[in-house]
Structure 1
Amino acid sequence: MKLTTIHPKLPMRNKAITKDFYVGQLGFVACGAADYEDYLMIKKDQVEIHFFSFKELLPQENYGMVYIRTDDIDQLYQSFLENNIAIHPNGQLMTKPWGQREFSILDPDNNLLTFGAGE
């Protein structure tokens, strides 16, 4: 027996806004066999993220986080800058003391997405 993939679930307040951010701005595509009112599944390359409706979510109290690895962190970072994707104020592209080259963004519900490359 082996584990094969993981699909994190994050909260969203508004499905249309979340879908627009991930699909319209980050280049994900909607996936799944059905379109549920309170649930969203998106995918890009080998990364799949699910979202559940949490209309009462207070973004400033949301601690949802996902770490996504990429094979070209510099190109990804540049593409976000070129597409006016806001980089987290404390998440500029840099090599961390633990050897990972990383940057971070926040989605509309303050879920933190950190992108990284390295060993």
Structure 2
Amino acid sequence: MKSKSELPHPEPQGKVIPVLPCPDIHKQTAFFEQLGFTLLGKYRSPNAYAILRFGNIELHFYGNKKLVPAQNPSMCYIKIKDVDELYHSFVSAIKCHTGKVPRSGIPRISKIRDLKEDRRFTLTDTGGNTYYIGTPVKVKEGNFFRTLASEKFAKQFSLLYDLVYSKEDFLLAASRLSFFLESKDLLSDLDKAKFLLVMLDIQKQLELPVDDTELQTVIENQKEGGRDWEKVRKKYEEILSGE
């Protein structure tokens, strides 16, 4: 008998399209049009309804005047090929229309985060719907910034990393920094840089005084450090710029 993995899979018959609520169909469609979506249809009767598309991403919305955006539990995961390209497209569009990038409140957009399974950002629309938009991590590559070479500190660091970038619990993450601050000199330069990047991000998120002197020194000493250090320098610049 063949195992389930060996059985033939049926040809895909279509795609799943989320149908999400919003209190104001006009504000909702305006928001997505600002992001670059094309409005395919907007209807008032028998019920408020709208259809929008961006590339092969299609979203449907229905009106619900009783919906409170801050209490909306609706969410959707959108898997794409290039999360960085889409993120920068959305951020540029938002900046063009509002002059800033909203990191809190409704609507809002998060920074890009490297998680265990994917590289993603989170978008919350005017109706309070949450979209996790990401590109899966290749199995062989893993998550560069989430892993340390040191076996002694690797597990604790991955927990700290997930507190910051998955759970976004910056206060709890800040309380765990002392473990690494006391031991960071035992880390290799690359491992130390990864920890200092996380600490810098926590300081920025909590609006604490930023101390990046040691991180600057470590990076400066690795000018010819190759591809890994290019990633570190880029991440450092992203954190400082708030992007």
Gaps of 5+ in 2: 1-9, 96-100, 138-243
Give the RMSD, CA atoms, in angstroms.
2.1
Tell me the distance in 2 between the aligned counterparts of 1:39 and 1:79: 26
How big is the shift at 1:74?
Answer: 1.3
- Identity %, equivalent residues: 28
Which range moved further: 49-58 or 79-88?
A: 79-88
**1:105 corresponds to:** 123
* Contact 2:109–2:124 (8 Å) recurs in 1: no
Is 1:48 the counterpart of 2:67? The answer is no
Aligned partner of 2:133 in structure 1 is: 115
Q: C-alpha separation between the residues in 2 aligned to 1:86 and 1:66?
A: 20
What is the number of residues matched between the two proteins?
115
Aligned amino acid, residue 105 of structure 1: L
User: What 5-or-longer segments of structure 1 have no aligned partner?
Assistant: none
Equivalent of 2:27, from 13, 17, 24? Answer: 17
* Deviation of 1:92 (Å): 2.1
Determine which structure has more spread, i.e. the larger CA radius of gyration: 2
Please tell me whether the aligned partners of residues 87 and 104 of structure 1 are also in contact (alpha carbons under 8 angstroms). Answer: no
The TM-score normalised by the length of structure 2 is 0.43
Kindly report structure 1 stretches of 4+ aligned residues shifted beyond 4 Å.
Answer: 87-90
Q: Counterpart in 1 of 2:161?
A: none
Name the one with the larger helix percent. 2
Pick the aligned partner of 2:111 from 70, 92, 96. 92
**1:29 partner amino acid:** T
Q: Which of 38, 57, 67 is the equivalent residue of 2:67?
A: 57
Deviation at 1:80, TM superposition (A): 2.5
* RCO higher in structure (CA 8 A, sep ≥6): 1
Q: Deviations over 1:8-57 (max 9, x none)?
A: 0100111110110011x11111225xx42100111111111110110010
Q: Which residue of 1 aligns with 2:194?
A: none
TM-score by length of 1: 0.83
Counterpart of 1:31 in 2: which secondary structure? strand
Write 1 or 2 for the structure with the bigger share of strand: 1
